[in-house]
């Protein structure tokens, strides 16, 4: 065993990992990367097929990101946002507000381009450290806003079945994945859940999943939207929290076109706020800058992390409206201040990386590449349908999830203890492709720099791994 692998096994406790299993085999110790390729300490190369848990955008060791960080390092790595401003964070906040808007920025009454088009447009940025803290900040702001505006004295949140918004206690409280959340029940605040538009396992619409065009139109009366509307009528929620267009940790569940727009309208009509958790879907992952933009929905809160720095550094942000911001204004002694902040809030290195990442992302070359990659991915994924173990193949932009099933005719799931996803991913790793399963779903989220040949290799490895572990074609 490599000495670093031994050190890891002796001292490191890994996230979401059964450490008894971890100790049974030598872990892959990653040492370097270039583009979509990672290399381990033994010199074996792998394709990073889940963009290092959905964080990496433009590839590893990107010259522009490296240069931006080196430039910033010559100035200063970190200064505190508690009491002081800094250049990259100020520039980044301005840029995030601009890119966060669903509708193109119009000149407002003051004639200042880029100013908030309305009090309900995204206008302010609160920085934090990761997806979970972005959600914590948001939940506190929304809770307090709801109380201060007199809408409710004990505000409650509504979120979707299978929702995942992070691992800190507040974020877990609005999550609904039993496996992750049950153990901490006693620690959590109560939130309500509502049906998610998981078409493949929809109790109302039994359209054939392999006919993607039929999924939404056949027999669908938007019962899932009706469920949200009914919940919103029953109670004055502070907010509905959603992962727009794709629920990541629930199994890359791609929502049907139109769900977000309809639900967004229902939330507005009810007077509640809309919280868009774009921690995974942000920064071009679903095809537009933010998933909300695809349905021209403007949330009251937009949470970003993961890809914010191009996958280089932990940094997150909560974008919100002038309306929300104003609810926290007052005389000092009124103590209406938003009492929340972290040591690394507004980190200069992270902000410098984020600015460089946005520059690349908004360039014509990146846009063209992403569009081509999305089409390639669609074509490659078609080759998986013939396999008996493949129940559903979902894609939204550059997010894909392949749901493995024990019986494709009945959609019967494999029991979790069979570790089907884990075994398939191990077989992929032997073929030089890395991703991490979500139960029986295999995610593919290629970095945007992935070439057509690399993408083909990713999907081929998945196809061969499924055949190796679960057998071949549907009969």
Q: Which residues bind ligand PMP (CB under 6 A)?
A: 130-132, 135, 164-166, 243, 248-249, 277, 279-280, 305-306
End-to-end CA distance of the chain: 43
Q: How far apart are CA 21 and CA 462, in angstroms?
A: 22
- The residues, any chain, with a CB within 8 Å of residue 112's CB and separated by 6 or more, are none
Which residue, 417, 437, 415, 439, is CA-closest to 426?
437
Q: How far is the CB of 375 from ligand PMP (least distance, A)?
A: 25
The minimum distance between CB 278 and ligand PMP, in angstroms, equals 8
Tokens of 220: 């669908």
Q: In the complex with ligand PMP, which residue's Cβ is closer, 144 or 277?
A: 277
Q: How far is the CB of 128 from ligand PMP (least distance, A)?
A: 10
Dump the DSSP string for 366-407.
Answer: HHHHHHHHHHHHHHHHGGGTTBTTEEEEEEETTEEEEEEEEE
Q: Tell me the three-class secondary structure of 415-455, residue by residue.
A: CHHHCHHHHHHHHHHHCCEECCCECCEEEECCCCCCCHHHH
Residue least distant from ligand PMP (Cβ): 131
CB of 219 to ligand PMP, least distance (A): 30
Nearer to ligand PMP, 37 or 249 (CB): 249
Least CB distance to ligand PMP at residue 303 (A): 7
What is the three-class DSSP state of 30?
Answer: strand
DSSP assignment, residue 105?
P
| Closest to ligand PMP by CB, 165 or 463 | 165
Phi, psi of 430 (to 5 degrees): -65, -25
Q: Which helix (H) or strand (E) holds 247?
A: strand 246-247
Torsion angle of C-alpha atoms 362, 368, 369, 371, degrees rounded to 10: 110
Rounded least distance, CB 185 to ligand PMP, Å: 20
Which long-range contacts link 214-219 to residues 24+ away (Cβ below 8 Å)? 215/256, 216/256, 216/257, 216/258
CB of 60 or CB of 306, closer to ligand PMP: 306
Cα angle 358, 39, 465 (rounded to 5 degrees) comes to 95
The nearest distance, CB 463 to ligand PMP, in angstroms, is 26
How far apart are CB 313 and ligand PMP at their closest, in Å? 12
CB 64 within 8 Å of CB 359: yes
- CB of 88 or CB of 175, closer to ligand PMP: 175
Cβ pair 345, 78 in contact under 8 A: no
* Shortest distance in whole angstroms from residue 342 CB to ligand PMP: 12
CB closer to ligand PMP out of 144 and 243: 243
Spell 83-92 as b/e; 16+ CB within 10 A means b.
Answer: eeebebbeeb
C-beta closer to ligand PMP: residue 55 or 205? 55
In whole angstroms, the minimum distance from the beta carbon of 189 to ligand PMP comes to 17
Which is closer to ligand PMP, CB of 226 or CB of 341? 341
Q: To which residue do tokens 């939130």 refer?
A: 191
DSSP annotation of 464: H
Q: Tell which residue, 217, 290, 258, 252, has the closest CA to residue 394.
A: 252
Q: Which is nearer to ligand PMP, 266 or 280 (CB)?
A: 280
Least distance CB 344 / ligand PMP (angstroms)? 13
């Amino acid at each position: 065993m490599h000495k670093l692998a031994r050190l890891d096994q002796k001292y490191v406790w890994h996230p979401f990992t059964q450490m008894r299993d971890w100790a049974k085999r030598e872990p892959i110790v990653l040492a370097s990367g270039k583009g979509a390729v990672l290399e381990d300490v033994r010199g074996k190369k792998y394709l990073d097929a889940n963009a290092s848990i959905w964080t990496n955008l433009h590839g590893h060791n990107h010259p522009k990101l490296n240069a931006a960080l080196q430039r910033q390092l010559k100035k200063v790595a970190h200064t505190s946002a508690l009491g002081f401003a800094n250049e990259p964070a100020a520039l980044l906040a301005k840029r995030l507000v601009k890119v966060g808007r669903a509708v193109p920025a119009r000149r407002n009454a003051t004639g200042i381009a880029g100013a908030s088009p309305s009090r309900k447009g995204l206008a302010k940025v609160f920085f934090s450290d990761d997806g979970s803290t972005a959600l914590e900040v948001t939940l506190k702001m929304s809770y307090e806003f709801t109380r201060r505006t007199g809408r409710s004295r004990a505000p409650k949140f509504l979120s979707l079945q299978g929702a995942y918004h992070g691992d800190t206690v507040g974020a877990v409280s609005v999550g609904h994945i039993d496996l992750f959340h049950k153990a901490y029940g006693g620690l959590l605040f109560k939130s309500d859940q509502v049906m998610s538009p998981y078409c493949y396992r929809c109790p109302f619409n039994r359209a054939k999943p392999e006919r993607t065009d039929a999924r939404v139109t056949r027999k669908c009366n938007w019962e899932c939207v009706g469920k949200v509307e009914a919940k919103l009528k029953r109670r004055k929620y502070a907010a509905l929290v959603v992962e727009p267009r794709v629920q990541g940790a629930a199994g890359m569940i791609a929502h049907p076109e139109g769900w977000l727009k309809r639900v967004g309208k229902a939330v507005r009509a009810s007077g509640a706020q809309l919280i868009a958790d774009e921690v995974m879907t942000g920064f071009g992952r679903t095809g537009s800058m933010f998933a909300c933009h695809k349905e021209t929905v403007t949330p009251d809160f937009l949470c970003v992390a993961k890809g914010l720095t191009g996958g280089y550094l932990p940094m997150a942000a909560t974008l919100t409206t002038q309306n929300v911001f104003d609810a926290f204004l007052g005389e000092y002694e009124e103590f209406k201040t938003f009492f929340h902040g972290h040591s690394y809030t507004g980190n200069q290195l992270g902000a410098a990386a984020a600015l460089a990442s946005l520059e690349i992302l908004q360039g014509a070359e990146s846009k063209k590449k992403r569009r081509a990659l999305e089409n390639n991915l669609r074509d490659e994924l078609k080759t998986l349908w013939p396999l008996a173990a493949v129940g559903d193949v979902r894609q939204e932009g550059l997010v894909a999830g392949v749901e493995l099933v024990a019986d494709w005719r009945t959609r019967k799931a494999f029991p979790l203890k069979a570790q089907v996803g884990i075994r398939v991913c191990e077989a992929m790793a032997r073929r030089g492709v890395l991703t991490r399963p979500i139960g029986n779903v295999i995610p593919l989220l290629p970095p945007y720099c992935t070439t057509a040949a690399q993408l083909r290799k990713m999907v081929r490895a998945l196809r061969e791994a499924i055949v190796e572990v679960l057998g071949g074609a549907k009969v």
